[in-house]
């Protein structure tokens, strides 16, 4: 059922966001530590290879945006092809409310994690992801309503010969 997808989207976005954030932090610190070793730093090819890792980790914000858009499109397409009876609209709406409550908690956890002094300037590389995860309850509620419209507002398809 497409209503459970709303919960899944919220949890997946938070999980990937936190994972990308920590991955970027670890990669930046590891590359900085490795390049500071004089034996490794002596070759320009090695320095270029490690700086390309930093360039790659700076693109994780766009990977997150692509994931976000893909999950929303997948929800809309899935909701369109799932047949839903209008009686179940109340259940779908209840699942959206539960998802919004869950994403409020996840959004607060995101804020607490990103405000830690340990991470320093890592947050400055994730402007899109930070915006989405801080406003995750709003995005989930809008996505859920769009999914509900796609699921229940399509015309009924008549059988053959009628």
Could you state, in order of their start, the residue ranges of all structural domains in the chain? 2-152
Average pLDDT estimate for 86-111: 92
Residue 21: how many other CB atoms lie within 10 Å: 24
Q: What's the first-to-final CA gap in the chain, in angstroms?
A: 29
Q: Is 88 exposed, middle or buried (0-12, 13-18, 19+ CB in 10 A)?
A: middle
Average pLDDT, the chain: 86
21-34 per-position pLDDT tens digit? 999 999 888 888 88
pLDDT over 90 for what percent of the chain? 46
pLDDT of residue 145: 92
Buried b (16+ CB within 10 A) or exposed e, 53-85: ebeebeebbeebeebbeebbeebbeebeeeebe
Model confidence pTM above 0.95:
no
- The per-residue pLDDT for range 30-47, each reduced to its tens digit, is 888 888 877 777 778 877
Plot region of 131 (φ>0 → left; ψ -120 to 50 → alpha; else → beta): alpha
Instruction: Give the separation between CA 27 and CA 58, rounded to whole angstroms.
Output: 10
């Amino acid at each position: 059922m497409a209503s459970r997808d709303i919960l899944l989207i919220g949890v997946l976005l938070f999980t990937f966001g936190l994972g990308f954030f920590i991955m970027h932090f670890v990669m930046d610190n590891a590359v900085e530590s490795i390049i500071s070793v004089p034996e490794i730093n002596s070759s320009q090819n090695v320095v270029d290879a490690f700086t390309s890792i930093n360039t790659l980790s700076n693109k994780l914000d766009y990977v997150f945006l692509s994931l976000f858009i893909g999950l929303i499109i997948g929800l809309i397409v899935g909701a369109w092809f799932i047949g839903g009876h209008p009686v179940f609209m109340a259940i779908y709406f209840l699942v959206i409310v539960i998802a919004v409550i869950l994403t409020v908690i996840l959004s607060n956890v995101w804020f607490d994690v990103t405000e830690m002094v340990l991470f320093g300037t890592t947050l400055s590389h994730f402007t899109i992801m930070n915006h989405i995860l801080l406003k995750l309850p709003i995005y989930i509620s809008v996505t859920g309503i769009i999914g509900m419209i796609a699921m229940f507002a399509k015309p009924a398809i008549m059988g053959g010969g009628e």
